[in-house]
Structure 1
Amino acid sequence: MRDFIFQQDLAPAHAAKSTKDWFTKKQLEVLAWPANSPDLNVIENLWAIVKWKIRDRKPTTLDQLKQNISTAWEAVSAETCDKLVKSMPWRLQAVIQAKGAATKY
């Protein structure tokens, strides 16, 4: 038995039959995600942090862009990740209070 549930939104690539088949084949449980729900996945916050860290850089090549992203990603602390994960109960409560509408998260 696995001790996790995979979370993803309903982006077209995530909802594709081939994607669903892959999860079924691997016997991975996927969290049911209602349409038009706020995306509470903390990865979105992590991407925002990375974007913020590279906002003033002006890469001129794809390799420079990749390096900037990699450097910014590696600079995100474990504490930041832990804080985001621990914020999930508040995120979920905010969505419940907003009756599924957008929240500050």
Structure 2
Amino acid sequence: MRPLGNKWVFQMDNDPKHTSKVVAKWLKDNKVKVLEWPSQSPDLSPIENVWAELKKHVRLCQEEWAKIHPTYCGRLVEGYPKRLTKLKQFKGNANKY
């Protein structure tokens, strides 16, 4: 792995997994310049906002998924023989099924 060099400064939130001896040694061995950051400070990284937004979308997706009635899924499965017949009839090409 190539060291990051002096162009970069790595910022982390001082979470214990980021400050372990193994991580500290790797950062030092690879000459990674680390931004000094107070412990337990708020995380100002924009990715944290992205993760929060993604969690909201996933939660919404889970709620919508739960609303799909099992009979709908059953009808899809029951219709499969007809779909396969159409697929064979159209030699794998798109069809209006």
Moved over 4 A (4+): none
Aligned match of 1:42: 46
**Counterpart residue type for residue 32 of structure 1:** E
Q: TM-score, normalised by structure 1?
A: 0.50
| Post-superposition offset of 1:8 | 0.6
CA root-mean-square deviation: 2.0
What percent of counterpart residues are identical?
Answer: 37
The number of residues matched between the two structures is 60
CA separation in 2, counterparts of 1:5 and 1:49?
26
TM-superposed CA distance for 1:57, in Å, is 2.2
Aligned to 1:25: 29
Q: Rg: which structure is higher? A: 2
Give CA deviations for 1:57-105 in whole Å, capped at 9, x if unaligned: 227xxxxxxxxxxxxxxxxxxxxxxxxxxxxxxxxxxxxxxxxxxxxxx
**Alignment partners' CA distance in 1, 2:48 and 2:6:** 24
Gaps of 5+ in 1: 60-105
Bigger RCO (CA 8 Å, 6+ sep):
1
Aligned to 2:19: 15
| Structure 2: unaligned runs, 5 residues or longer | 66-97
Q: Is 2:10 aligned against 1:6?
A: yes
